[in-house]
Structure 1
Amino acid sequence: MEIMVFFSLMLLVCSVSTNQTEADNEIVDQQISNQQPCPQDIHAVLREMAVSLAEQKVEIRTLKQENQDHITKLKELESHKNEIDWLKQKSKEQEAKLETEIDQLKQEQQVKQVAFSVSLLEQGSRDIGPFNIHMTLIFKRVVTNIGNAYNKHTGIFTAPVRGVYHFDWSIYGHGNIQTGAPLFRNGEHIFAAYEHPASGGVSASNGASLLLEVGDQVSVRLWANTRIYDNQNHHNTFSGHLIFTM
């Protein structure tokens, strides 16, 4: 009797265990069916990812290189622009310099023709002097003034170009008083024309060739305490001309 009861219990346990195992297997199968299928070869996937990453790296390097090429081209263009601007500026400077040289050549061509001849009074007659200092004589009557180097308002000739010039001057006096007039270059006494008449009228003259720099001034001055006389015959004259440039 006891043996029969034992076998009955064993059958009951086996039946329960079998049912539990089948239930568990159904739950596991259900969970597996709900999951995404796993790749069959994970190494293949990794290789694909590595290839894709390498391709992206190559593309990135290519983009970097293209970007660097663009930067280099931009720098070259900027350099070319600066060079073009510099060339334009130099061209303007050279054009201005050429215009200046042309103007200078024209001026030099004009100032190569320098000559003047003047006398003391335009009209009438009178004595000039004496004065207690040297006085620049202003020759008012202009016969010739090629190059406009003589100023009839100041009595001064101004050299327009470096060169050798020749000057002549003459003076006329009368009565018992000295007559004298030296030629001055800037403040330098060069030569003098001088007479001391006892009576009547006398004249004196002189000449000089001078090397003048541009802007040098030449004039005739009445000596202190001397006197000259002029009338419609124009006895007192001052003349000069450029011999050659240097």
Structure 2
Amino acid sequence: MKIIMFLPLLLLVCSVSAHQTETAVQQSRTQDIHAALRELTASVADQKVRMAFLEKQTQEQEAKLERQKTEIDQLKLKSEVKQVAFSASLLEQGAGDTGTFNIQITLVFKHVVTNIGNAYNKNTGIFTAPVRGAYHFDWKVYGYGNTETGGVLFRNGEHIFIAYESPTSGSVSASNGASLLLEVGDQVFVRLWAGSRISDNENHHTTFSGHLIFTM
């Protein structure tokens, strides 16, 4: 009789114990999941930091490569344009006068005898610097009679020097020269002095020349 009364109690105890065990197991699993999630979250955060660092390194490397490419291109350009020189006279052929005008006009020297580096444009009369460096220019203008004879050297819009004479009779020539520091793209040309007249013929009296001295 005592055994029969004890069995329900034993079953109840076993049931409670099993429930507690299952609860403990579930709690342990939950804790394990939470721990795994924390580790995963930390790992993801670490990966994000690593990816950001790698991305920054990649950008820095790309910027460095771009700078190196630019430097190489500049060195290549300098090596390609070590020799720049041109020389031209005003008229392509025949003889003729230019002027007078009440404003300065750009002279177009059409008879080109030298144009190493192709920096001088015979259609515009403008020399364009292909590389940063020191250049030297010479120009000469020829005139006659009692009219002023003058030509002005310009760098971009800047008046540099003038070659000028004011004859009272006969013929006369005026010449000048200048050495200039030019940046890539700077333009150099000669303008006819306002109110003056110049002349040229098959002997090529009126000329414009220039060359690169050295790069910088």
> Pairwise mapping of residues 165-204 of structure 1 onto structure 2 (< 5 A)?
165-204=135-174
Q: Structure 1: any 5+ residue segments left out of the alignment?
A: 1-28
**2:46 is equivalent to residue 76 of structure 1:** yes
What CA deviation, in whole Å up to 9, does each residue of 1:33-83 have, x standing for no partner? 9x9x51347556544543443333223212221222223223333443444
Corresponding residue for residue 245 of structure 1: 215
3-state SS of paired residue (1:124): coil
What CA deviation, in whole Å up to 9, does each residue of 1:179-199 have, x standing for no partner? 222222333333222233444
Shift of the 48–190 alpha-carbon distance from structure 1 to 2, 3 Å rule, reads: closer
> Pairwise mapping of residues 148-163 of structure 1 onto structure 2 (< 5 A)?
148-163=118-133
Mean Cα deviation higher: 99-108 or 125-134: 99-108
Match of 2:26 among 53, 56, 79: 56
For 1:69 and 1:189, the matched residues in 2 are separated by: 74
3-state SS of paired residue (1:122): coil
Q: Structure 2: any 5+ residue segments left out of the alignment?
A: none
Contact 2:77 2:131 in 1 (8 A): no
User: What letter corresponds to residue 117 of structure 1 in structure 2?
Assistant: S
TM-score, length-normalised on structure 1? Answer: 0.72
Q: Which has the larger radius of gyration?
A: 1
Which structure is higher in RCO with an 8 Å CA cutoff and minimum separation 6?
2
Corresponding residue for residue 66 of structure 1: 36
**2:92 is equivalent to residue 110 of structure 1:** no
For 1:191 and 1:63, the matched residues in 2 are separated by: 86
**2:84 is equivalent to residue 126 of structure 1:** no
What CA deviation, in whole Å up to 9, does each residue of 1:145-184 have, x standing for no partner? 2333322222122333433221111122233433222222
For 2:45 and 2:132, the matched residues in 1 are separated by: 52
User: What letter corresponds to residue 191 of structure 1 in structure 2?
Assistant: F
Q: Kindly report the root-mean-square deviation, in angstroms, between the aligned alpha carbons of the 2 structures.
A: 3.0
For 1:222 and 1:188, the matched residues in 2 are separated by: 14
Corresponding residue for residue 175 of structure 2: 205
Identify the structure with the greater helix proportion.
1
For 1:139 and 1:88, the matched residues in 2 are separated by: 52
Q: What is the percent sequence identity of the aligned residues?
A: 55
Query: What is the Cα deviation at residue 105 of structure 1?
Result: 2.3
User: What letter corresponds to residue 195 of structure 1 in structure 2?
Assistant: E
3-state SS of paired residue (1:68): helix
TM-score, length-normalised on structure 2? Answer: 0.80
For 2:16 and 2:196, the matched residues in 1 are separated by: 124
3-state SS of paired residue (1:77): helix
The aligned length equals: 214
Query: What is the Cα deviation at residue 138 of structure 1?
Result: 0.7
Contact 2:84 2:212 in 1 (8 A): yes
3-state SS of paired residue (2:141): strand
User: What letter corresponds to residue 23 of structure 2 in structure 1?
Assistant: L
Contact 2:78 2:215 in 1 (8 A): no
